[in-house]
């Protein structure tokens, strides 16, 4: 049996750069890769070329799982602090991820980034 290449075990998704007042949903995640990670990248421009760290605010992540669709559900640790944007993780056969920002200051735009793998 040959060794698998990196593209076979990891799926990567990202949203467009979006104003911080807007919700973002990434659809069509790979449900065969249930170990997922999400992060939010903040910017001070609409092109997403100038990184920014918010002074305040949060981004709540909710997921739609294969088992509970079409309902979005929260998961433990699903809120990202804007001034300390850490990667969140969960384990579920996920169809969609939704990011809802609230009270973000300094940054004007953001992008949701999700990776999923098999283990």
Enumerate the domain spans of the chain.
11-117
SS3 at position 73: strand
Dihedral (CA of 94, 96, 101, 102) sign: negative
116 DSSP assignment:
E
Each residue's pLDDT tens digit, 48-98: 999 999 999 999 999 999 999 999 999 999 999 999 999 999 999 999 999
Strands 24-26 and 58-65: unpaired
Residue 118 has pLDDT above 50, yes or no: yes
The reported pLDDT for the residue numbered 1 is 41
Average pLDDT, the chain: 93
pTM reported for the whole predicted model: 0.89
Number of Cβ within 10 Å of residue 9's Cβ equals 12
Residue 16 has pLDDT above 70, yes or no: yes
| Per-residue pLDDT band at 119 (split at 50, 70, 90) | confident
Question: Cα separation of 52 and 89, whole Å?
Answer: 23
Pick the CATH number of 11-117 from 1.10.8, 3.30.70, 2.60.120, 2.60.40: 2.60.120
């Amino acid at each position: 049996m040959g060794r698998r290449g990196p593209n076979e075990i990891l799926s990567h998704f990202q949203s467009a750069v979006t104003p911080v007042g807007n919700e973002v949903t990434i659809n069509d995640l790979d449900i065969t890769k249930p170990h997922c990670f999400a992060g939010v990248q903040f910017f001070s421009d609409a092109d997403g070329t100038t990184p920014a760290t918010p002074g305040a605010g949060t981004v709540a992540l909710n997921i739609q799982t294969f088992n509970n669709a079409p309902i979005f559900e929260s998961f433990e640790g699903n809120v990202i602090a804007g001034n300390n944007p850490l990667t969140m993780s969960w384990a579920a056969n996920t169809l969609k991820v939704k990011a809802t920002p609230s009270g973000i200051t300094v940054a004007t735009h953001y992008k949701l980034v999700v990776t999923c793998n098999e283990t």
